[in-house]
Chains A and B, each alone.
Chain A
Amino acid sequence: MARFVIRRLLQSGIVLLGVTLVVFLLLQLVPGDPVRVALGTRFDPQTYEALRARAGLDQPLVVQYFDYLRRALTGDLGVSFRSGRPVTSIVLERLPATLSLALTAVLFALLIALPLGILSAMRSGSFVDHAARVFSQFGVSVPDFWMGIMGILLFAGVLGWLPPSGYVALTEDPARWASHVALPAATVGLVTASILTRFIRSSMLEVLSEDYVRTAEAKGLRTRVVVLRHVLRNALIPVVTVVAVQVASLLGGVIVIEVLFAWPGIGRLTYDAVQARDYPVLQGAVLLVAALFLLVNLLVDILYARLDPRITVR
């Protein structure tokens, strides 16, 4: 187990190093001078020189990268070309909004996917099973932003039950936060639920065909006991992994939904940084999301190895 953890830590470290290199090189790909491009009509020589020096752009490329890496390791991701504020603070300020949306969406997804996936596997070939499969196919094919627009049209436009967009912090007013998060979370959650339903169904079907399940049934155990004690406990192990990966993906993958619903999270920040050509903020947001994604994957692998010891010897 210890060797497995050390090996995974080393692998993740190497990948993270590669991620910093890609994020660093993004700025080098900008055609022309990124600072001049970012300043646009607000150009003045003093600000220009100060921003170039602060971003280290007057140094050779290799020196720039190692400097970027050194600063990133101490939590310094540079300053915004637009506001002059530290990128780390700007990105971290947006994290709670994205986290609250991602977690609510996954919770919503689990509420649908768990019963639907389990029932679909238990009653394979039934109406519920067919409905679950149609739902899964629908979810992986529908553009989430289209579903969001349809949601706005129905729940904000026709019924008038929910606000079409906007954000209220959970700590400020929980009731208003709930009404604002409902539409974006349901939009993201439905797509996530369709993916989870498929995983849960196939995982359940795999375990249901195992010998120990047949043995438990042959011993005369009631179906409920067999499902709860033998099937679910084993079938849900891979599902834990998928759920965690979904949360990690949603942290950086809900740009379109955050833009559509004016949700001030990391996705919206990325979009605004692209529009304003604020490259340090774009780099910071991308780096943070990729690092979080790697961290969650690492934790999931270790958790998975603890839940299923066969993993460490593979």
Chain B
Amino acid sequence: MSEQTVGRSEGSLRRALSALRHDPLALTGSAVLVLLVVVGVAGSWLAPYGVNDVDVDRMLQPPSGAHPFGTDELGRDVLSRVMVAARVSLQVGLVSVGIALVVGVTLGLFAGYYRGWLDNVLMRCMDVLFAFPVLLLAVAIVAVLGPGLLTAMIAIGVVYTPIFARVTRAGVLSVREQVFVRAAVSIGASDLRIMRRHVLPNIAAPLIVQTSLSLAFAILSEAALSFLGLGVQPPAPAWGRMLFDGRGFVTDAWWLGVFPGAAIFLTVLAFNLVGDALRDVLDPRQLTVNEARRSTG
């Protein structure tokens, strides 16, 4: 039985990889993500200038051979800052979605498996979190905890937790009625073992899709928080913050608005393309949860 269930999760992974290989859009998205990871990891070494190298003689220079993305209001190289900021976006995306995944899956697993009062209490709590527009709740949490990278990650993790809890619970409700789960109960397997070995591998597909799409929205949310001055604090570079700082100069220095925004757009688009391809193969019924959530941001 465990071979069968483990086999299913491996099957999900194989189908996911095959989907990415055969879909040109997903392949492009994957290539952008690989590039992003490389830049995110090695950005500090690859960047042509230091991110905080101020040069007042070269303030607001348009794109040129020496500064392909131009310079900002303090004469700093925009390309270098865009490259180093990739790490922040990836870090926030991974950590915040990691928080949402671990907490949401645990809550959804217990709610769906035990049902009854536990299910009712946990799901009503998730309903309460769902009643707040995503960005508004994130702003409120950051406002009380204080702005910064860590609090932004926690806030985004909290607001995306209910999605994972709901997706997990829905999967558990159908899997727990399967014969192999009942068989595992009859041979005396513990609840935790059943959840870990039999239930979780069988709900992997929708969770993989949800994770991929949530990464896109987490990066968008971080950019919005940074734009409001509630994310990464200066002088550390973040794409949203760069847009915020450059908005006063944008009519005279278009490059301050174009490049950081284009970096956010391409990253989010890449995650969405990969997520959509995975969804089409692994979980075609899960259509618009993210779109609805994204609209509230």
Determine whether B230 belongs to the interface, using a CB cutoff of 8 Å to chain A: yes
Chain A residues within an 8 Å CB radius of B240: 143, 145
Main secondary structure of the interface of A (DSSP, over half): helix
Once bound together, how far apart are the Cα atoms of A286 and B133, in whole Å?
A: 9
Count chain A residues whose beta carbon lies closer than 8 angstroms to a beta carbon of B. Answer: 59
Known pairs A137-B269, A149-B243, A242-B292; A282 contacts B133 (CB<8 A): no
Once bound together, how far apart are the Cα atoms of A30 and B265, in whole Å?
A: 34
Determine whether A64 belongs to the interface, using a CB cutoff of 8 Å to chain B: no
Q: Which 4 A-B pairs have the closest CB atoms?
A: A146-B261, A18-B128, A157-B251, A141-B269
Determine whether A246 belongs to the interface, using a CB cutoff of 8 Å to chain B: yes
Chain A residues within an 8 Å CB radius of B26: none
Closest to B140 in A: A286
Closest to B136 in A: A252
Chain B residues within an 8 Å CB radius of A142: 265, 268
CB pair A137 B273 closer than 8 Å: yes
Known pairs A145-B224, A259-B228; A198 contacts B291 (CB<8 A): yes
Partner-contacting stretch, out of B59-67, B93-101, B141-149, B172-180: B141-149
Closest to A157 in B: B251
Determine whether A249 belongs to the interface, using a CB cutoff of 8 Å to chain B: yes
CB pair B143 A282 closer than 8 Å: yes
Contact of B247 among A246, A253, A260 (CB under 8 A): A260
Which B187-244 residues have a C-beta within 8 angstroms of A? 216, 220, 223-224, 227-230, 240, 243
Closest to A291 in B: B131
For the complex formed, measure the closest distance between the CB of B208 and the CB atoms of chain A, giving whole angstroms. Answer: 19
Chain A residues within an 8 Å CB radius of B296: 249, 252-253
Determine whether B287 belongs to the interface, using a CB cutoff of 8 Å to chain A: yes
Determine whether B135 belongs to the interface, using a CB cutoff of 8 Å to chain A: yes
User: What are 30 of the A-B contact pairs (CB < 8 Å)?
Assistant: A14-B124, A18-B127, A18-B131, A21-B128, A29-B145, A137-B269, A140-B272, A140-B290, A141-B216, A143-B220, A143-B227, A145-B240, A145-B243, A149-B250, A149-B261, A150-B258, A150-B261, A156-B251, A157-B250, A192-B295, A195-B291, A198-B288, A249-B295, A253-B297, A255-B135, A259-B228, A270-B140, A286-B132, A286-B136, A290-B136
CB pair B143 A274 closer than 8 Å: yes
CB pair A199 B288 closer than 8 Å: yes
Determine whether A293 belongs to the interface, using a CB cutoff of 8 Å to chain B: yes
Once bound together, how far apart are the Cα atoms of A157 and B257, in whole Å?
A: 12
CB pair A153 B257 closer than 8 Å: yes
Once bound together, how far apart are the Cα atoms of A115 and B76, in whole Å?
A: 46
Count chain B residues whose beta carbon lies closer than 8 angstroms to a beta carbon of A. Answer: 54
Known pairs A18-B125, A255-B228, A260-B247; A140 contacts B133 (CB<8 A): no
Count, A-B residue pairs, CB within 8 A: 160
Which residue numbers of A lie inside 8 Å of B, CB to CB?
11, 14-16, 18-19, 21-22, 26-27, 29-31, 137-138, 140-143, 145-146, 149-150, 152-153, 156-157, 164, 191-192, 195, 198-199, 202, 242, 245-246, 249, 251-253, 255-256, 259-260, 267, 270-271, 273-275, 277, 279, 282, 286, 289-290, 293-294
Determine whether B134 belongs to the interface, using a CB cutoff of 8 Å to chain A: yes
Determine whether B88 belongs to the interface, using a CB cutoff of 8 Å to chain A: no
Known pairs A149-B243, A195-B291; A293 contacts B133 (CB<8 A): yes
Known pairs A15-B124, A145-B243; A27 contacts B144 (CB<8 A): yes
Once bound together, how far apart are the Cα atoms of A180 and B143, in whole Å?
A: 29
For the complex formed, measure the closest distance between the CB of A165 and the CB atoms of chain B, giving whole angstroms. Answer: 10
Known pairs A29-B145, A149-B257, A245-B292; A143 contacts B224 (CB<8 A): yes
Determine whether B264 belongs to the interface, using a CB cutoff of 8 Å to chain A: yes
Known pairs A30-B144, A143-B265; A290 contacts B250 (CB<8 A): no
Contact of B268 among A16, A141, A253, A290 (CB under 8 A): A141
Chain B residues within an 8 Å CB radius of A191: 295
Contact of B135 among A15, A22, A256, A273 (CB under 8 A): A256
Known pairs A137-B272, A253-B136; A15 contacts B127 (CB<8 A): yes
CB pair B227 A256 closer than 8 Å: yes
Chain A residues within an 8 Å CB radius of B273: 137
Determine whether B254 belongs to the interface, using a CB cutoff of 8 Å to chain A: yes
Chain B residues within an 8 Å CB radius of A274: 139, 142-143, 228, 230
Known pairs A14-B124, A153-B257, A274-B143; A253 contacts B133 (CB<8 A): yes
Chain A residues within an 8 Å CB radius of B262: 146
Once bound together, how far apart are the Cα atoms of A256 and B230, in whole Å?
A: 12
Once bound together, how far apart are the Cα atoms of A252 and B138, in whole Å?
A: 12
